[in-house]
Amino acid sequence: MGRIKINVVLLIILKLFLVGTTTGEETYENDRQIDELCSSYTYKSVKPLLDYFRQVRNELDQSEIKEKHTSEINADLMIKYHEIVGIHEKLMKEAFQLDEYKNQIIRKENDLQLCQSKVDKLESEINSQQTTINLNWFHCLHLSDKSNKLEICEDQLKKLNSSVIEKDEKISGYSATIQNITEHQKTISLKLEERQTMLFKKDKDIEICHAEIIKLNRSYLNKMNSSSCLPFEEYPGVHEIKVSGVGSFDVLCDSQLAGPGWIVIQQRIGGKENFTRDWATYRKGFGSMDSDFFLGLEKMYRLTSLQQYELYIHLVTLSGSIFYARYDDFKISDEDNGYALSLGTFRGNIENTMRDSDKMKFTTFDRDNDASSDNCAVWFNSGWWYNNCFKCNLNGLYGKDLVWWSETANYLKEAKMLIRPKDE
């Protein structure tokens, strides 16, 4: 029995859902059918619920109608809004045009005021001229009796004007003449200034030439009697000196490395000269003073036999380091004694390596004077004051034997030997 009631309730609920989707007439027909089918107590108990659902359905229908009406109203409002926006834009354009019209009116008013001012001014001038005309007319009436005198004055004025014109023509002629004279005077002044400038330059040139002549005369006089580079300390370069026993010969004077008055007796700066030479060549000297050269053993002997000389040695390594060695009593003996070397006291910024050659005779490949069992000049392809064989060799081959030993080997790219008379 309980199962039957449950089935009836479910049937009723199903019908309720069906009622929610039907129209009014269909609802009435459904109610009738339900009343006929379900006249039991259960239907009567749920009928209020059916009425409630029917009322909710009606309210929903009315809500849909209202929403549809609201949508239509909103659509109308949007149309009205767009119309209002269009009207607003049109009003803005008309307002802008109105402002332009106002500005044009203001400009026209300003132009009108200017025109009115000009009109007023012209009227004032016309009135003034009218007054002047009236006054002139009045004066003319009073001056009619003076017309004869005026004619006489006019004749005199014409004569004066003719005279003035003649004088103006003469003045014009004089002015042209004066202008020509002035231009000619300017031309002459310019030429005079040019000549004065040229004369001034010539005077300066003459002074310079005169000073040079004086210097050259002094240099020549010193040169004629000089046996060193001391007279040429302000003019370094190649000069001729005269030494007893060998006569006159050219030397390279240096005033840059260690002060003025130095004679360069040996130079290695280019690597182009061959220093593998015999005894006679080293005795005489060889090379070019603008590159590598050796002054000559006999010249060195003759120079150092005159007075005490000091020796300055300038060294530049392959890495660019610069060193010097200085000896205060440099001498070369005569040829019979093998051009033996004497150095004196040392000072410098490198080791006293050349001391190994002190008191040694000069050696070439054809004259062996060294302390070695072999000929060092043959082994090292150069002439030098070899001992056994050397600790420095400034006549050696570039990149191999051109070296000055200290704690390590200082291979050289430049070497110079310079001598100068020692101050007492």
Mean pLDDT, residues 17-33 taken together: 55
Position 295 pLDDT exceeds 70 = yes
Question: In b/e form, how buried is each residue of 1-10, taking b as 16+ CB within 10 angstroms?
Answer: eeeeeeebee
Check residue 335 and give its pLDDT: 97
Position 39 pLDDT exceeds 70 = no
For residue 12, name the pLDDT band (cuts at 50, 70, 90).
low
For residue 384, name the pLDDT band (cuts at 50, 70, 90).
very high
Check residue 311 and give its pLDDT: 98
Check residue 221 and give its pLDDT: 46
Tens-digit pLDDT profile for residues 315-334: 999 999 999 999 999 999 99
Mean pLDDT, residues 154-159 taken together: 78
Check residue 1 and give its pLDDT: 54
Quote helix, strand, coil % in the chain, to nearest 5: 60, 15, 25
Position 345 pLDDT exceeds 50 = yes
Please tell me the CATH code under which domain 230-421 is placed. Answer: 3.90.215.10
Helices (H), 226-286: 279-284
For residue 369, name the pLDDT band (cuts at 50, 70, 90).
very high
Question: In b/e form, how buried is each residue of 322-343, taking b as 16+ CB within 10 angstroms?
Answer: ebebbbeebbbbeeeebbbbeb
Check residue 208 and give its pLDDT: 83
Q: Of 23, 26, 31, nearest to 47 (Cα)?
A: 31
Check residue 290 and give its pLDDT: 94
Mean pLDDT, residues 99-125 taken together: 80
Q: Which residue has the higher pLDDT, 280 or 84?
A: 280
Q: Which residue has the higher pLDDT, 52 or 218?
A: 52
Tens-digit pLDDT profile for residues 63-95: 888 888 888 888 888 888 888 888 888 878 887
Check residue 26 and give its pLDDT: 56
Mean pLDDT, residues 264-278 taken together: 95
CB of 363 closer than 8 Å to CB of 370: yes
For residue 270, name the pLDDT band (cuts at 50, 70, 90).
confident
CB of 299 closer than 8 Å to CB of 306: no
The average confidence (pLDDT) of the chain is 83
Check residue 424 and give its pLDDT: 55
Position 20 pLDDT exceeds 80 = no
Which of 40-54, 345-359, 394-408 comes out lowest in average pLDDT?
Answer: 40-54
Check residue 215 and give its pLDDT: 59
Which of 140-144, 166-170, 212-216, 223-227 comes out lowest in average pLDDT?
Answer: 140-144
Mean pLDDT, residues 299-312 taken together: 96
Check residue 400 and give its pLDDT: 82
Helices (H), 265-319: 279-284, 297-306
CB of 310 closer than 8 Å to CB of 327: yes
Share of the chain above pLDDT 90, in %: 42
Give the pair of three-digit tokens for residue 159: 């004569």
Q: Of 174, 102, 361, nearest to 182 (Cα)?
A: 174
Check residue 274 and give its pLDDT: 94
Position 53 pLDDT exceeds 80 = no
For residue 33, name the pLDDT band (cuts at 50, 70, 90).
low
Check residue 130 and give its pLDDT: 65
For residue 140, name the pLDDT band (cuts at 50, 70, 90).
very low
Within 13 A of 370's CA, how many CA atoms are on the CB side? 25
Mean pLDDT, residues 331-350 taken together: 97
Distance CA 133, CA 20 (A): 116
Q: Which residue has the higher pLDDT, 56 or 293?
A: 293
Q: Of 372, 304, 313, 375, nearest to 333 (Cα)?
A: 304
Q: Which residue has the higher pLDDT, 12 or 393?
A: 393
Check residue 66 and give its pLDDT: 84
